[in-house]
Structure 1
Amino acid sequence: MRAIAIALLALLAPGCGGKVECGEGTFRDGDNCIGFDPDDEAPPVVTLTPPAQRSREPIPTAVALTTDELSQLYVTTDGSDPDPTAGPGEPSPVTIVEITNGMTLKYLAIDRAGNQSAIESATYISDVTGPGKVKDLVVTPAGSDVTITWTNPIDQDFAGTVVARVVDVIDASPESGQTYTAATDLTPSLQILQVGSGTQFIDTARPPGRVRYAVWAFDDLTNYGPPSAARSEIALGNLEIEFQFDVPNNALTVVTPSVAFDTTGTTAQFSAGTLTLALQLQNISTSHFQNPKALVVSTSSASFATTNPTADGLSFVDLGPATFAPNATITRNLVFTGVSGVATFRLRLGHHASIIASRNRSRDVAFIDSGAVFLNNSVRETPKFNTLASGPNNQGKVRPALFTGEHFVDVPTTHGTIERWDMVTQTRVFGTDVGVQNGDRTNVQALLADSANIYCLTKVGKTRDTGRLTVIRLDENLRETGRLDLSAVDAQGFTHPALSPDGSTLAIPSGSSIVLVDTESMTQRDVVPGTPDLDVIQTAFLDRVRAVTFFDNGNGLFAVSRLGGKAEAIRFTDNGTTNVELSDPSGGTGRGNAVALAPDGRVFVAFDSGLRVYNPATDLLGNTSYTQAATGLVFANGKLRVLRTTRNQVDVADPSTGLIQVTNTLPFGAFGHWLVLASR
């Protein structure tokens, strides 16, 4: 038996004609069994789970790399190529954790046969950021048609734009991830006109009055960028209407109609030489008219006698309400005497923007008709808004209000709220809490607006406290779209920030310095590029900056100090700024209260010593003839309104000289060192 066994082993031995039988999972390689197929020349295939992509989805928390056969994996996450000679690699599968946005994995695999896959890469990108704004948005009416043109952003992933007609306010934006089509409503106030990649749209057959449009750019993932908006007006035509009354035939006719108003319901009653004209006007335009008046331009064979004040040099009948809205109808009686034969009455719709002021120890806002002149030089005050500014401790105040859309007034308060009021209905619409802390510790310092956004500056702290500043970007429905917490602080009281003419930069006083904020990216701008620090504009003031305004089309910034009679003209350069220090030419060292940019480019400055004017062409701060203590400034109807520190008088001053033309007595005390024009 032993001999037979030896013989069998000999037959199976190598070189003896035997054949090796290899077990499962092994392969014959000559006379040996090995763990891989020696004829395998195919490299392993690597699969990533989840696969790499650029999408709106969040970045995965981990990525698993697997191969279709037993292999060693070599993976890098720093962008370098994997090197199989640097180490043994890791057996498949491999899990990579802590994936970050934009991370690129590079990998290869080597199977047991030594087959090596090519180096592959995979980048994980979560993109929820839309393109930049469209630029150069221009609205050009021609007859009843409106051409809207713009320049698309240069972002590489730009895919198109959504163009919408703005009926009232920009109260929403397209929702990222969603697609839209023309002839649909984003909201009742935003009517989508076009979706595409063009740079022009023509809106045809529009009624007379205001027109406004908003445009959003979107990328290939339907991320939407911030809105751009622009407005214009289709000519209202002649706002004058001429009526003729035929006494013998007791007949009233319209000789000259207006395209903006329908007078179909107007009637007349005649008795003993007196005609009562029941004027009925329906606003068929798209415009809101503030402080509407029926101005009597001329009469024939009749007289219009009234003790009312004048506006634009003409007698008038107040049409009320404070704002005449589209589609609204007003009826008022005008009485003419000495009417005989065929009499004519030419009327004009007068309308003038309101000036907003604080009252009642700065807890209410009141509206002053900027166009009416009363015989006793008092002002025509429209109904005031009783705000909720008293706050939780009954110590709140209002800050300078903001006119939004065509008929809303947004009133910021010192306890962290913004209250919206409707000038048409004269009622409160709603309030928004923008507080960064509860209660009355959030002080809303100011509201400013560009063509499509509202910027809210808040201070964490009570009115007289020093506190950290925060900038909050809102849409026109007062919903937050961005926020920037600054390291800068502000002291007691409040200061007047400014927005550049193109809306790109917000200038915020902070102590004796000025912080610049990029409103699109909501980041702080570095005033002096190339330095390691995030620089601000530093003035030479010994006290804090009270107010600033841009001039020279945004190339310069003018600042006035709260104390010391000091000001500075700051011009932007490639390497920072150049500052020109200025002093009150009267030699006064009192308070600086406000600044206002004039239509001709000069800057008016309200000092306790009077009104001064800065000329950018000469870099000089000069005197004017206005010597009263000035605290608030605003331009309206081409004239400068100056609030005196006595608080109950507003002067109408000639901008060329500063001479007071009219002094209006207020029926209240205007507090807070500000006047605001209800117009955009």
Structure 2
Amino acid sequence: GGECLDGTVRFQDTCVPFDPFDKTPPIITVDPPVRTRFVGDIRLTSNEPAEIYVTTDDTAPTLESVHERDQLIIPNDDNRIVIRFFAVDLAGNQSLEQLVLWNIDQEGPAPPARFNLTRTGDTRKVDWTPPQNENRLGGVLVARVEGRVNVQPTSGIQYAIGDEIEPGITVVSITDADPAPATFSETLPATPGLVRYIGWAFDDLLNFGPPAGDFEVVPMGPQRGLVFIDLTASTVLQGTKPDNVTLSGTATVSGSNVTLKLAVRNETTRVLHAPKLLVRSAGVTFNSDGVFDTFPYKAYGAAINPGASATVTWQFTGVSGNSLSLDLDLRDNRVVMLGSVSKETAGSVNDFATGREVKRLAPGPGDAKGGFGPLGGGFTPDGRVVFGSRSSGTISSWDLQSGNRLATTELRAQKSHVPQLALDPSGSIGYALISEEHIRKLRDGFGVETELVRFDTATLSDQGRISIGISRNRDMRISDDGRFLIVATGVAARGVLVIDLASFTVARNLVSGTRAESAVFTPDGRGVAVMGSDLQVFDVEDGTVISTSPIPTGGKLFRAAFNGPNEIWVGGQSALHKIDLTNTIATETFGFPVRTLDVFDGKIYAGNGDLRRFDPDFTEELQFPFFNQRGHWLGRSPF
């Protein structure tokens, strides 16, 4: 009589440590689950008292195998481990042997779509659509960016609003798995600088995917200031201070000559591109770098990063009296860049307004024979430029202010090269074509196997790739809305590939019947102009032909650019053509060989190694004295 102790049951007149009527084998749970980011230590746990037997070498477990009562822990750091196990409970019931091979999932979802920032006064609003058709979507994380982005969110970490991914990158919104469009807004003072937000989708395992982003520049007002040099004490004092920069320096006086080392510190949250100090003081003679807006000036390099300073040495002559007063006016504007086939530099950076060279980038990772030679690139809004290499399967980034190379990622081992590279409009994500073999074989052959690689511009990390097959990779562009990417394959049967960036798949081929040497989106984003033996405009959504225009014969084509909805400029080996797509104005041909070509602000920028600016009537206005005469890529900073 009486009750049995815990862990025993009554069988007739005896308390026994198992249920004699139990015919059910034990159930073993496995941690981590079969689909996981990382296996780590393994825990096998029984749902009842039982002995667990296991092997880790993919052999069948036996009663002689490693075993433990109720729970068995396997220390492990191998994601490829295979375990086989069974368990026997106190009643002798044995479970079936189970085999576990983990599914390691460390790939995040696609980036959010239609990520858009709008600012009205002090109010900022961010809209986005989570990636669609993601079976395991966890949500979208949005961060406010106040500085340079150097990292991505760490997969596996559960972030909260207010967390910093790194200093200056603050989490402001986290949504759930709802695929419906979402919005975030906040109110912050609209001080001059860069307003920028980036979003990342993540899955149910907290794997973060590639970024999407948008930015807006809050205008900076006039930056006038006064600097006084006490010639008797050789001191420099700032009088009237500009609103968003600080001026400071030291002076050395030798008779009527003054050497001034004057520093400009950027107090805004955006990069100052091509900064220059104009001298409005009358009767001052110094070693100016030229004249801008009727005033002599000193150039302060390609850029000054937020919170950073740049110092330039000024030499004044014919100075008299006890002091020198300088009425200074800081100006900045875009920079333009031409990639260089050189072992000395990756490219030359020039002031877009004056044409003056303001920086040469450090060399890129290139072979000893041909140099780095970027064929495609892009600017980020935080002061970097990203290139692909013509002589190796690498992509690299540079800092515009210092000119130093920041990082390099190898996308494929030799022999390979990166024939094209482009950044999306936000500068947060990039796309690179990576091709087998050296570029010399590509030039002489019929195309090579090529992949399209998506990467984030902060870390240059691979964020997924797809094969696009055989291609000669003549051109690559991204639409202004970031929805599509096009690749002019240079192979007649393959034409131009249209890549849907939301699904990261080839949506269609635009085949014109000839080798597509260049392709460019129409200004409204609805069409793609394809240049081969003629010029055909296709509808990007369904691939139908909208119009056809002839191209004068003679020489290989390299590049094309729109100047308005119906005027397109097509550059080639022997000439530059101005074509009217309505076919009502005769095509104009100029005997000017063109390898690089673009249209900025209604002006035509073209060159065959050098770069010149023309008005729409092809009257030359400005020459840019780039370092190297064999540049292949032309780009302009976003502001």
Q: TM-score, normalised by structure 1?
A: 0.68
Structure 2 unpaired stretches of 5+: 1-10, 12-22, 40-46, 48-93, 177-181, 442-446
Q: Is the 8 A contact 2:422 2:477 kept in 1?
A: yes
- Please list the CA deviations of residues 153-200 of structure 1 after superposition, one character each: whole Å capped at 9, or x if unmatched: 677976643221234554444344431012322234633233346621
Question: Does residue 383 of structure 2 align to residue 407 of structure 1?
Answer: yes
1:469 aligned to which of 450, 460, 465: 450
Q: Residues 533-548 of structure 1: matches in 2 within 5 Å?
A: 536-541=509-514, 544-548=515-519
Where does residue 428 of structure 1 map in the other structure? Answer: 405
Where does residue 200 of structure 2 map in the other structure? Answer: 216
Q: Residues 168-187 of structure 1: matches in 2 within 5 Å?
A: 168-187=147-166
Deviation of 1:210 (Å): 1.5
Q: Is the 8 A contact 1:419 1:432 kept in 2?
A: yes
1:281 aligned to which of 237, 252, 264: 264
Deviation of 1:517 (Å): 1.9
Question: Does residue 274 of structure 2 align to residue 314 of structure 1?
Answer: no
Q: Is the 8 A contact 2:361 2:405 kept in 1?
A: no
- Please list the CA deviations of residues 414-451 of structure 1 after superposition, one character each: whole Å capped at 9, or x if unmatched: 3212233222222222321111xx32x21211111112
C-alpha distance in structure 2 between counterparts of 1:596 and 1:503, whole Å: 18
Report SS of the residue matched to 2:439.
coil
Where does residue 14 of structure 1 map in the other structure? Answer: none
Question: Does residue 527 of structure 2 align to residue 559 of structure 1?
Answer: no
Report SS of the residue matched to 1:420.
strand
Deviation of 1:657 (Å): 1.9
Q: Is the 8 A contact 1:160 1:219 kept in 2?
A: yes
1:479 aligned to which of 461, 464, 487: 461
Deviation of 1:356 (Å): 2.4
Question: Does residue 485 of structure 2 align to residue 506 of structure 1?
Answer: yes
Where does residue 651 of structure 1 map in the other structure? Answer: 612
Where does residue 571 of structure 2 map in the other structure? Answer: 606
C-alpha distance in structure 1 between counterparts of 2:331 and 2:566, whole Å: 28
Q: Residues 104-503 of structure 1: matches in 2 within 5 Å?
A: 130=109, 133-140=112-119, 142-143=121-122, 146-151=124-129, 160-188=139-167, 190-196=169-175, 199-202=183-186, 204-205=188-189, 207-218=191-202, 222=206, 224-242=208-226, 256-263=240-247, 265=248, 279-296=262-279, 298-299=280-281, 302-304=283-285, 308-320=289-301, 322-332=302-312, 333=314, 335=316, 345-360=326-341, 364-371=345-352, 373=354, 379-380=356-357, 382-390=359-367, 397-413=373-389, 414-435=391-412, 438-439=413-414, 441-450=415-424, 451=426, 452-465=428-441, 466-476=447-457, 477-490=459-472, 494-503=473-482
Q: 1:270 to 1:624 in 2, by over 3 A?
A: farther
C-alpha distance in structure 2 between counterparts of 1:200 and 1:173, whole Å: 20
Report SS of the residue matched to 1:294.
strand
Q: Is the 8 A contact 1:243 1:346 kept in 2?
A: yes
Superposition RMSD in Å: 4.7
Q: 1:281 to 1:442 in 2, by over 3 A?
A: same
C-alpha distance in structure 2 between counterparts of 1:410 and 1:371, whole Å: 19
The one-letter code matched in structure 1 to 2:266 is N
Q: Which moved more, 1:304-313 or 1:207-216?
A: 304-313
The one-letter code matched in structure 1 to 2:594 is A
Q: Residues 57-136 of structure 1: matches in 2 within 5 Å?
A: 57=36, 130=109, 133-136=112-115
Q: Is the 8 A contact 1:279 1:334 kept in 2?
A: no
C-alpha distance in structure 1 between counterparts of 2:419 and 2:240, whole Å: 50
Q: Is the 8 A contact 1:283 1:329 kept in 2?
A: yes
Task: Report the identity percentage.
Answer: 19
Report SS of the residue matched to 1:545.
coil
C-alpha distance in structure 2 between counterparts of 1:400 and 1:153, whole Å: 28
C-alpha distance in structure 2 between counterparts of 1:549 and 1:621, whole Å: 21
1:675 aligned to which of 625, 634, 637: 634
Q: Is the 8 A contact 1:55 1:126 kept in 2?
A: no
Report SS of the residue matched to 1:398.
coil
Q: Is the 8 A contact 2:273 2:334 kept in 1?
A: yes
Structure 1 unpaired stretches of 5+: 1-23, 25-43, 61-65, 67-91, 102-124, 528-535
The one-letter code matched in structure 1 to 2:556 is R
Q: 1:56 to 1:611 in 2, by over 3 A?
A: same
Q: 1:675 to 1:135 in 2, by over 3 A?
A: closer
